[in-house]
Amino acid sequence: MKIGFDLDGVICDIDNVVLKISHIMSPEVEEAVAKYYYSNRTPLLNPNLFLADGDEWYVITARNPGWMGDMTRKWLDKFYPSYSGLYFVGGDGWNAEPYNGDFDAWNHDTAVRKVELMKELELDLYIDDSPCNVSKYRQMIDIPIIQYGTRI
C-alpha cells in the first residue's frame, strides 16, 4: 500500500498564529522568521505507525522546493527518514510564483498539483489536516482521503 501524507499539520505541528504574524512583517523579517519556524517544527503524527511490511509512504507538501527544500529534507531525515519520496508543490523561491498574495487561488493550484502527484505515485490513501483541502481532494480523486486533526 502506498500512503501519502501532508506535512504541516500532519507529520509536523503547525502554528498559524506565528505564520500570520510573520506575513505582516517586512519580507526580510518574514523570511528569517519562516526559516526558523520551518526548521524547528515538532513531530506530530508518526507515519511509520500506519505501515505494514512492504508499504511505502510519501510526503506531498505545499512548501516550495527552493529555500524550504533543504531544511524540510533535513527535518524529515532527522525524525522520519523512512519516507519513499518527498514532493513539493509550492513555488520555487521566497514569495515566488505561483503565490501572488491570492491565497485561495494559490491553495487551489497546490491542491490540483497534489492530486496530480497522488495519481502519478498511484497512492492508495492520503492524509491531510486541512478540511478545505480534504473536501477538494475527495472531489478530484477516487482514493480515501483522511482528515487528521483540525485547522482553523
* Footprint on this chain of Mg ion (rule: CB under 5 A): 6, 8-9, 129
* Per-residue DSSP letter, 114: H
Q: Is the CB of 41 or the CB of 67 nearer to Mg ion?
A: 41
Q: At what angle do helices 27-39 and 16-23 cross, to 10 degrees?
A: 160
Provide the minimum distance between the beta carbon of 78 and Mg ion in the complex, in angstroms, as a whole number: 19
- Whether the Cβ atoms of residue 26 and residue 55 lie closer than 8 Å to each other: no
110 is written with which cell numbers? 497546490
Provide the minimum distance between the beta carbon of 137 and Mg ion in the complex, in angstroms, as a whole number: 12
C-alpha separations of 5 from 29, 37, 60, 95 in Å: 30, 20, 6, 24
Q: Is the CB of 23 or the CB of 29 nearer to Mg ion?
A: 23
Provide the minimum distance between the beta carbon of 10 and Mg ion in the complex, in angstroms, as a whole number: 6
Q: Is the CB of 92 or the CB of 107 nearer to Mg ion?
A: 107
Q: Is the CB of 9 or the CB of 47 nearer to Mg ion?
A: 9
User: 102: closest CA among 91, 93, 88?
Assistant: 91
C-alpha separations of 4 from 7, 10, 88, 104 in Å: 10, 11, 13, 23
Provide the minimum distance between the beta carbon of 121 and Mg ion in the complex, in angstroms, as a whole number: 18
